[in-house]
Amino acid sequence: MRFGIEAGSFTNPRGYGRFLRGLYAELAKRGRHEWVLALDSPTAAVLPLSPEIPRHVILSKVAAFEGAAAHHRRSLGSMLRMSRGLSKGKFAALLFPSPHTYVPVPGTPEVLVIHDVTAERYPILVFESALAADRWKWKTSVAIRRAKRILTVSEHSRRGIAEVYGIDPDKIVVAPEAPDPIFLAPASPFVRPRPYILFVGGLSPHKNIGVLFEALERVPGIDLILAGPFKADLFHAGEVASLIARENLAGRIETMSDLEDEALRDLYAGALALVLPSFDEGFGLPAVEAAAVGIPAILSRTTAAAEILGKDALLFDPEDAAELALHLELVRDDAGARAKLGGSAREKARAMTWGIAAAAVERAAEEAAGA
């Protein structure tokens, strides 16, 4: 069968983009169906795809992912053009890897992936206005009503989606993420004059960086590296710079932006631990990447990653800097504990593959096409 994947997020360096790239590679490798990347023309123009990868390009003035960002508003005309263009693909079913770039496509069975309900639970930390939050929830509600099948990336998210949108959890299928194979390859640990802990991700307020800074101030002898797509996030980067100055942490925090995967793997390998202090995460891929490399993860209890790694991670209340500080002291002082946690987490990460997600997506698309 010939299925389409709305691929506006393919160029996103983390999050939705990671999911889409990992999933597509596995679907293509399995070869059960033809999977066509449906791309707006600005995204297609910058995407270095092999000629053999099937694609369906839709003329657009603005990249879908950029136009659908929280601080933008897609015009009705842009959405209509995208909808018509997707419809012309004549797909047996169309997969939307997230509600972010969703548009209704009448006449085509739709399959929807919802990664989390962070935006619904913490709208004030995600959106710039209540109106933007309402638009997001309305769009997601429309996508849910139209979808023939709904998937998500973790049991944590499955429960959250069911609760927030009133869906029977049995109707939501889990298609879990996995680390890219490069994070399981041998690393060359990044070397720095002082030991460091690592944060990987964006700087949005729901990432809860402030509690990490507060804990770090209580624990001398270690530094912090923030790694993420910061060049495209100048607003939040400025907020974080102000917070660093206010917490008297100048000289102890370094930022690294837009790293290639190999460099990120080596950065994980040199760290005492990864810290993920978010209030909520639908999956928490950095935690799984860190586990694949073999370093401990220190995780907020309220994230999916805490459930996924369980006893193979150190967990804390995202509002308790003192509890986080105790974990930072442990990874600073106890090499044996670091090695034990990193080793057990690595074994768990090795068992995660994109095959599970690809099989779930294939079934959902087949069922949607036949519904």
Q: Dihedral angle at the C-alpha atoms of 58, 103, 33, 169, nearest 10 degrees?
A: 160
CA nearest 45: which of 70, 88, 8, 86?
Answer: 8
The backbone region for 248, taken as left when phi is positive above 0, alpha when psi lies in -120 to 50, beta otherwise, is: left
pTM: 0.91
- Comparing 266 with 240, the larger pLDDT belongs to 266
296 has a pLDDT exceeding 70 = yes
CA nearest 260: which of 193, 178, 182, 196?
Answer: 182
Residue with tokens 């972010």: 100
pLDDT over 90, % of the chain: 80
Question: Which pLDDT band, with edges at 50, 70 and 90, does 3 fall under?
Answer: very high
The residue type found at 26 is E
123 has a pLDDT exceeding 60 = yes
333 has a pLDDT exceeding 90 = yes
Q: Which residues contact 262 (CB under 8 A, 6 or more apart)?
A: 182
CA nearest 22: which of 115, 160, 116, 126?
Answer: 115
pLDDT at 202: 86
Question: Which pLDDT band, with edges at 50, 70 and 90, does 73 fall under?
Answer: low
pLDDT at 229: 81
Question: Which pLDDT band, with edges at 50, 70 and 90, does 246 fall under?
Answer: low
pLDDT at 187: 97
The predicted-structure confidence for 131-176, as pLDDT tens digits, reads as follows: 989 999 999 999 999 999 999 999 999 999 999 999 999 999 999 9
196 has a pLDDT exceeding 50 = yes
Quote the tokens at residue 19: 């999911």
pLDDT at 249: 81
pLDDT over 70, % of the chain: 92
Assign 23 to helix, strand or coil. helix
371 has a pLDDT exceeding 70 = no
56 has a pLDDT exceeding 50 = yes
What's 275's DSSP letter? E
Q: Which residues contact 36 (CB under 8 A, 6 or more apart)?
A: 2, 3, 4, 5, 54, 55, 56, 89, 91
- Comparing 250 with 195, the larger pLDDT belongs to 195
How much is the average pLDDT of 203-219? 93
pLDDT at 237: 54
55 has a pLDDT exceeding 80 = yes
Q: How far apart are CA 231 and CA 17, in angstroms?
A: 16
Question: Which pLDDT band, with edges at 50, 70 and 90, does 290 fall under?
Answer: very high
How much is the average pLDDT of 92-106? 96
Assign 166 to helix, strand or coil. coil
- Comparing 46 with 249, the larger pLDDT belongs to 46
pLDDT at 70: 46
67 has a pLDDT exceeding 80 = no
Q: How far is CA 272 from CA 301, 315, 334, in A?
A: 20, 15, 10
Average pLDDT across the chain, whole number: 92
How much is the average pLDDT of 239-246? 67
Q: How far apart are CA 148 and CA 108, in angstroms?
A: 10
Q: How far apart are CA 140 and CA 146, in angstroms?
A: 10
pLDDT at 234: 45
pLDDT at 78: 85
Quote the tokens at residue 149: 């099948």
Query: How many residues are given for the chain?
Result: 371
Question: 42-79: b or e for each residue (b if 16 or more CB lie within 10 Å)?
Answer: bbbeeeeeeeeeebbebebebbbbbbbebeeebeeebb
> Which range is least confidently modeled, 2-11, 226-235, 278-287, 341-350?
226-235
Q: How far apart are CA 28 and CA 46, in angstroms?
A: 21
Q: How far is CA 175 from CA 6, 39, 361, in A?
A: 17, 23, 7
